[in-house]
Amino acid sequence: MFHSTNPNPSKLALVPFVSVDNMMKIVNTIGASKVIAEIAEYIEADFLRWDMFDKTPRVAAHSKEGVIELMPTSDGETYGFKYVNGHPANMARGFQTVNAFGVLARVDNGYPVLVSEMTILTALRTAATSAVAAKHLAPKNARIMGMIGNGAQCEFQALAFQQIVGIDTVKLFDIDSKATQKAARNLSDSGLTVISCKTAEEAVAGTQIITTCTADKQNATVLTDNMIGSGIHINAIGGDCPGKTELHRDILLRSDIFVEYPPQTRVEGEIQQLDDDHPVTELWQVMTGQTQGRTSDNQITLFDSVGFATEDFSALRYIHDQLQPTGHFVELDLLADPDDPRDLFGMVQRAKTNSSSN
C-alpha cells in the first residue's frame, strides 16, 4: 500500500508527521462532517476484509488513576498501532482525559510511513464507527438521538449521526450543566435541532437512538431498564475498560448485542456484566451480510463499542491519503540512514566531525 518509488533512498528516512495543529488544519480544510463520513468509508471497507487483519485485544497497563494502552494490527502489508491513555480524573486536574498518537509502517521493511496525533483522530474515528454501526442497526428513518455525557466525544457523535444516519435532532444531558452548555454552543450552527435536558430521562424520551459516553471509571447506571422502550438502538461507547460500565444489566438481557471483537469487549465492554457465553454478534458479520442486524421494529439493538485497532488503522490510512492533497504535515528525521547499513557507529562519528568543522 505504501511502497515508495522515490529514487533517493535517504528520503525514506524522513517520515511524515501530523501534529495536533496540522490535524486541525486537515479537518477544517475538508470539513469535520465530511472527514467523519470519509473515515467511516475506510472503516467499513476494512471491516469488509476482517479476515485479513491480525487481531488481538489491546495491551493495557491499568492503574488506579486510569489506563495506558497499545492497540496494534496489520493487514499483512501495512502495520499500525495506537498509543492511548484513559484517565477520567485528568479533567479535574486540567489535563485531557484521553491522549493518543499512532503510527503506520510498511510490513516489508518495517519503515514507518506516518506518525500522527490521534487524540482528535480518535474522536473522529469513534464517531465514525458509531454511525457505521447505527447505519446497520438503528431503526429506519431515525431522526432523534439522546446524548448522555456531553464531554469531548459529544459533538463528533452528533455530527456523525447527522451525516451518516440522518438524525435532525439531538437531546443533550450531562450531570455537569456546563458540559451541556458547551456542546449546545458548539452545535449551534450544525443544522441540528439541539435540546438541552435537565435529566437523563428527559434526554431519552421520544428518541430512536441513545448514545452514552460518560467518563467516570466506575460501574455506573447511566441508563436504567425502565428508560428503554422497544425499538431503540443504544450506542454505548463510554464503557471501555474493566470496572467501567454505563447500562443496567437488565437492559443487556433484553437487547441484541453487537460488538467489534468479543475477546476485548467481554473484558472491557458492557458485556463484562454477563456470562462469558452470552451470545453476541460481531459487527463485521452484519456488514458482510453473514448475519442480520435489525430484524424487527420492536427489537432493542445495542452496539457495545470499546474501540478496536482496525478502526485506528482505517483512520490512519485515511489521514495518510490526505497528506499530499492538503499539505498539512511536516517531515521528521526519525530514522537512522547510514550510507552503509552496517556502519551506524561511523555515521555517528562523521556527524561529530561535521559538527566540529561547522
Please list the active-site residues: 240
Distances (CA, A) of 176 to 93, 151, 180, 236, 334: 16, 9, 7, 19, 43
User: Is the Cβ–Cβ distance between 33 and 162 less than 8 Å?
Assistant: yes
Strand partners, 281: 258
Looking up cell 498518537, which residue turns up?
101
* Cα distance between residue 310 and residue 62, in whole Å: 22
Grouping H, G, I as helix, E, B as strand and the rest as coil, residue 86 is strand
Grouping H, G, I as helix, E, B as strand and the rest as coil, residue 92 is helix
* Exposed / middle / buried, residue 355 (Cβ in 10 Å: 0-12, 13-18, 19+): exposed
* Exposed / middle / buried, residue 219 (Cβ in 10 Å: 0-12, 13-18, 19+): middle
DSSP 275: -
Q: Are strands 59-62 and 256-259 parallel, antiparallel or unpaired?
A: unpaired
